[in-house]
A and B are shown apart, each in its own frame.
Chain A
Amino acid sequence: EAQVTQNPRYLITVTGKKLTVTCSQNMNHEYMSWYRQDPGLGLRQIYYSMNVEVTDKGDVPEGYKVSRKEKRNFPLILESPSPNQTSLYFCASSAGPGETQYFGPGTRLLVL
């Protein structure tokens, strides 16, 4: 089954404690991206990747890092989380930015 998986689905952490949210897709997609969703602000792109070792900033990259060492995986790293990063995070993959995006189920993050 074609899918995008994210882990963990729910996470409560404290300010400054590094965390990683994993994202994996099994569709051999080249384009992967991370979004955060906040009430009233819609989805905002954090980072995107056109292919292995190719990543670029989206609209809200501050406080986040990503890596794309393998085509299927695109982890999101918060080196020093802060409360303003409390949000709902989605990973997505597609054949390209203008093509159908396949979204993961989301990760709810609470930073205390």
Chain B
Amino acid sequence: SQQGEEDPQALSIQEGENATMNCSYKTSINNLQWYRQNSGRGLVHLILIRSNEREKHSGRLRVTLDTSKKSSSLLITASRAADTASYFCATVVQGGSEKLVFGKGTKLTVNP
């Protein structure tokens, strides 16, 4: 089952530009997480935002959550070539099983 869907599937920008990725989900959630994956490696946790939060910051990352629209966005400001990676959102369905469901990811390429 696909709970989270990232958009766009791929994004290519120049260094210094901002990158925005979106995640939409289908059912109510307790929280939403964003992860980053460098090619073929294990995922690394970036940010967790709870359902009662609307916005969260961590360094150059800004995550928003709109529970009424069932969507979240990840903004990376002043991107660097080292930000090149795939980004995934993940959710656990509220009141459901304990499965954690990942989206298919957005592949970000930051060109130097």
A binding-site residues for B, Cβ under 8 Å = 4, 31, 33, 35, 40-45, 48, 50, 56, 58-59, 88, 90, 92, 96-106, 108
Prevailing SS type, chain B contact patch: strand
Give the size of the chain B interface in residues (CB under 8 angstroms).
24
Contact pick for B41, options A41, A96, A106, CB 8 Å: A106
- Ordered by A's residue number, 6 sampled pairs between the chains whose C-beta atoms are within 8 Å are A42-B105, A43-B102, A45-B99, A48-B98, A101-B35, A104-B42
Shortest beta-carbon distance, A108 to chain B, in Å? 8
10 additional contacts (CB under 8 A) given A100-B48, A105-B41: A44-B102, A45-B99, A45-B102, A56-B98, A56-B99, A97-B98, A98-B30, A98-B33, A103-B44, A106-B41
**Residue with the greatest number of chain B CB neighbours at <10 A, chosen from A42, A103, A104:** A42
